[in-house]
Amino acid sequence: MSIKLSVVDQSPVHGSHAAIDAPHLTIELAQLCDALGYYRYWVAEHHDSIHFANPCPEIMATAIASVTKNIRVGSGGVMLSHYSPLKVAECFKMLATLFPDRIDLGIGRAPGGTGLTSQALAFPHQPHHGDLYAQQAQLLKGFIEGNLPQNNAFSQINVMPDNSPQPELWMLGSSGGSAGLAGYLGYNIALARFIDPDNCHPSIFTEYLEQWKQAEHPGTPTRMLAIACICADTEEEAKLRAGTAVYRKLAAQLGMREAFLTPAEVQDRYNAFPAAHQAEYDHILNGYTVGTPEQCAEEITQLASAFNCNEVATVAVTHSQADRIDSYTQLIKGF
Secondary structure in 3-state letters for 36-49: HCCCEEEECCCCCC
Quick one: pLDDT at residue 129? 86
Does residue 167 contact residue 93 with C-beta atoms inside 8 Å?
Answer: yes
Residue 132 resides in a domain: yes
Tell me if 282 is assigned to some domain.
Answer: no
Asked whether the bond before 124 is cis by omega within 30 degrees of 0, the reply is yes
**Is residue 61 a part of any domain in this protein?**
yes
Q: How does residue 77 score in pLDDT terms, banded at 50, 70 and 90?
A: very high
Q: Where would I find the beta strands (DSSP E) of the chain?
A: 4-9, 40-43, 72-79, 103-108, 168-173, 188-192, 223-231, 289-291, 311-315
Residue pair 245/323 in contact (Cβ under 8 Å)? The answer is no
Cβ neighbour number for residue 123 with a 10 Å cutoff: 9
Q: What is the mean pLDDT of residues 317-323?
A: 98
The pLDDT-based confidence of 177 (bands split at 50, 70, 90) is confident
Residue 169 placed within a domain: yes
Cα–Cα dist 221/191, whole Å:
13
Which domain does 63 fall in, by range?
4-234+290-333
Alpha-carbon distance of 14 to 112, in angstroms, equals 19
144: domain CATH number is: 3.20.20.30
pTM for the full predicted model: 0.96
DSSP state of 12: B
Distances (CA, A) of 113 to 109, 128, 225, 321: 12, 14, 23, 24
Q: Is residue 262 part of a domain?
A: no
How many folded domains does the chain comprise?
1
Residue 271 resides in a domain: no
**pLDDT number for residue 176:** 75
Q: What is the mean pLDDT of residues 136-149?
A: 97
Name the percent of the chain lying above pLDDT 70.
100
Q: What percent of the chain shows pLDDT beyond 90?
A: 96
Whether residue 273 is contained in a domain is answered as: no
> Is 90 exceeded by the pLDDT of residue 1?
no
Question: Which pLDDT belongs to residue 219?
Answer: 86
State the Cα torsion 123-129-131-132 to the nearest 10°.
Answer: 40
Average pLDDT over residues 261-281: 97
Residue with more model confidence, 174 or 135: 135
Alpha carbon distance, N-terminus to C-terminus of the chain: 11
**In a domain? residue 247:** no
